[in-house]
Amino acid sequence: MVKKLFDKLLAKGEENPVWVVFLLYVALMVFLVIFIKFFLKYDSAFFLTDDGYYVYAKLFWKGDFSLLHAGRGPGIPLLFSGFSFFPESCHAYFRLTVTISFVLFNIYLTKEIFRKYLNGRELFIGLLISVFNPLHIHFTIKSTPEVYILTFLLLIILFYRKLSENPKWVLVLFLILITSVSFFFKPVLFFVPFMLLIHSFIFKSKNLRLKTLILSLLTFLSFLWSLDLTAAKKGTYGGVSYGGLNFIGPTFIPRAMLNTGRFSLDAKEKDFLNNSKNSVAVMTVKYHEEWMNSYLKNNPEAEEKEVIIDFIKDNFGEFVVSKVLNILFFTSLASNIPETFINLFLNGFLVVMSITVMKKKYKEKDEGIFLIISGLSGYVLMYLLTFGYARYSIPFIFIISVYSGVTVSKILSKHTWESFKLKKIP
């Protein structure tokens, strides 16, 4: 009975991976929402906790708040602002529905990218691994920006491939639009066009190089424009996660870890209220604010660029150490120790398994592997230079884990269902 269901699931998944994976995902999400609400007794506010986007959306709808110079991009608050037309009790479910819709689109885009390079079973299993990664499930429930950034990154990779195959100017304009809009959600895809430019110079024609160069230059200008519109006003530099100052705050994380003896952020509200000296997040903010207050006291008119340059000069050794550790933090660091270690081992295993497949594809001169590496490296580079945190790795882990479907598919093809059964002990 179980074997028949398993075989049927694989067969259906090979035929239509998008809908099979999505329906399984929705079933899990419905179960989790019911479990969180009725068994854990969390109210709907649990699903609305984020980096301030929901609050910004409500204030903007009321006309009490401008989304410009708010320290965060206006894209997500604009997306959420329409919820205020409905009763507040519905907001959590509307937001979750929007996020789930993006996940469906992400599954579809991933299928469109990989169907040229993987067979049906490999793609289906790879999508299952990507979508059901605990990191992805956890943060789609929380509707974090990375779900939407994944959409933009997938669109860029897919349409750049189309541009490679058919270099039309309309595709260049569409890529400029996609990348520019992404900056107003979260300006983290800045390096992607430049990595694609390197890709075009290594592998592609002069015609594509010219178009990719124009794409890079125009998205660079839109990036500067987005920073100008979203950067907080002078005198509001405080937050660890604020814009360009992500170069500063996270530099103090290794110091905070050494002083607290803890290896997770411990970013609970009660820790901040109690000014806990055992919280890495609290101590990181403390060190950040101490340096900022001291610096601004002597340089009250300093612009953000000056602040960053002077900080790196004053703390060069600590800055370099933090950026090296970002390689590890990017796929593992979470708000508590159990999550951090789960991320470290699970994501580490998936990355190693996927890279093994990618190395083989690389040796086979697989065209897709070079494009995907270029897109992913542009995304990862931003966080290696700023703040490595497991949540931010969702787009990277989601895309790269699809390749692990190749390995799992081979394992399944080598073993019969009976070989997975537990043998009776004589």
Domain ranges of the chain: 2-234+326-418
Length of the chain: 426
Average pLDDT per consecutive 10 residues, the chain (426 residues; last block may be shorter): 75 89 95 90 76 77 72 82 80 90 97 92 95 95 93 97 92 96 92 94 84 95 86 48 61 92 76 72 88 87 82 91 92 90 94 91 78 94 89 96 92 62 42
List alpha helices for 144-278, DSSP H. Answer: 145-165, 169-183, 192-203, 206-230, 253-260, 269-273
Count Cα neighbours of 404 within 13 Å in the Cβ-side half-sphere: 20
Distance CA 125, CA 123 (A): 6
What's the pTM?
Answer: 0.90
Q: How far is CA 322 from the centre of its chain?
A: 20
237-282 confidence digits (pLDDT tens) = 433 334 445 678 889 999 999 999 888 887 665 666 566 778 888 8
- Two tokens at 16? 């239509």
Helix (H) or strand (E) holding 290: helix 280-298
| List of residues 6+ apart from 291 with CB closer than 8 A | 248, 252, 311, 314, 315
